[in-house]
Structure 1
Amino acid sequence: MNTRHDTWLSRASHGLARVEQFLCSLLIAAFGVLLIVNVFARYVLNSPLYFANELAVYILIWMAFLAISITIHHDQHVRLTMLVGLLPAPAQRVCYWLTELVCLTILAVTLWYSISWLRSPSVAFDIAITLDWPKWHFYLIVPIFCATSIFHLIARLPDRSRTVFTLASDEE
């Protein structure tokens, strides 16, 4: 009876992943439209959108961070499992928990420092040159990514705990 949607936390994580997926879809569409319009403006109207390249870069950055958060939700992020796969099952579970704790720690520290960085005067006055917008709007993806990834990791820990400890008791 172990499903991914047992707890309110895992249901919330699933809902958040769906929102992230929707935002990625919107950004992909916006990226495509922006590039098509810019090509049309450049080669047909002979008047390119001067801000298109800069905005396209920010769109790609946001898409990448959102996509990484989604992969963390689905527990599909890249792992090096060759050596861990050679270990006995209990040692594999210990390695899994250690990597989860390391990921949580790195994300928490990055969240802390990214918030401090966003509040610094150097970021407050940084302007996107061709867009003439404050860059802190674009930089918000870093703490958003850290917070959503931490949430996804914490949300899956109860499900993973049941699975790990159920497997451990079945092996005995």
Structure 2
Amino acid sequence: MSRGLLYIEYTIIALSLAIMAVITFANVLSRFIFDFSISFTEEVTVNLFVLLTFVGASVGIYKNSHLGFSLIYEKLNGISKTLVSIIIGLLIILFFIALTYYGLEIVQSQMVRGQKTPSLGWPQWVFTLGLPVGCILCIVRTLETTVKSILQVRDESVSEQ
């Protein structure tokens, strides 16, 4: 599952970044050559950037590439390391659960109100859905990373004995 999910995440990131680059470049050319701005580019770019941010955070969690202070963690023994890993994992999961909950509330509110995007006239909830989807990916990756960390601590404890 991990590799398949990683492929999906990388595909979303690559497509989002490519679309953002193409439409932004087209808008710049349009402004300088034709003195005409393409109105929807900002709308699409901002919303894709939100999706890109949360899916990128999910990949960052998977690869352990977030900034961290590990001096204290490295000084702990097996049981303490396991406990700290669980606490950190739970805190991160609670944060993303809250973001998912409120993100879904926003999506639901936009659906009920029938909000449309200003330039394209698309349903706004389509773009806002990037927030809860990205958060769910972060929850999955946090669970995966926490379990991996606990197993690694267990293996270190076994090898030290």
For Structure 1 versus Structure 2, the TM-score category normalised by the shorter chain is 0.7 to 0.9
Q: Contact between 2:61 and 2:145, CA under 8 Å: does it hold in 1?
A: no
Residue number in structure 2 paired with 1:103: 92
Shift of 1:34: 0.7
Within 5 Å, which residues of 2 pair with 1:125-136?
Answer: 125-136=114-125
Q: 2:77 aligns with which of 79, 89, 109?
A: 89
Alignment pair present for 1:67 and 2:50 = no
SS at match of 1:128: coil
Indicate how the Cα distance of structure 1 residues 109 and 116 shifts in structure 2: closer, same or farther if over 3 A, else same.
same
Name the structure 1 match of 2:139. Answer: 150
- The answer to whether the Cα contact below 8 Å between 1:126 and 1:136 also exists between their aligned partners in 2 is yes
Task: State the alpha-carbon separation in 1 of the partners of residues 156 and 71 from structure 2.
Answer: 21
The runs of 5 or more residues in structure 2 that have no matched partner are: none
Q: Over aligned residue pairs, what C-alpha RMSD do you find?
A: 2.2
Which of 144-153 and 158-167 deviates more?
A: 158-167
Q: 2:158 aligns with which of 143, 162, 169?
A: 169
1:122 to partner: Cα distance: 7.6
Q: What is the aligned partner in structure 2 of residue 31 from structure 1?
A: 20
In the alignment, the residues of structure 2 paired with residue 159 and residue 93 of structure 1 have an alpha-carbon distance, to the nearest angstrom, of 11
User: Could you report, residue by residue, the CA deviation over 1:60-83 in whole angstroms, capped at 9, with x for unpaired residues?
Assistant: 221111111111122222323344
User: Which of 57-66 and 126-135 deviates more?
Assistant: 126-135
Identity %: 20
Please say if 1:118 is aligned against 2:118.
no
TM-score normalized by structure 1?
0.80
State the Cα distance separating 1:49 from its structure 2 match. 0.4
> Does the CA contact (< 8 Å) of 1:124 and 1:136 recur in 2?
no
Conserved 8 A contact 2:24-2:41: yes
Higher helix share: 2
Residues 81-104 of structure 1, C-alpha deviations (whole Å, 9 max, x = no match): 34444x323334422221011111
TM-score (norm 2): 0.85
Contact 1:123 1:135 in 2 (8 A): no
Distance 2:112 2:35 in 1: 35
Count residues in correspondence. Answer: 160
CA distance in 1, matches of 2:6, 2:112: 29
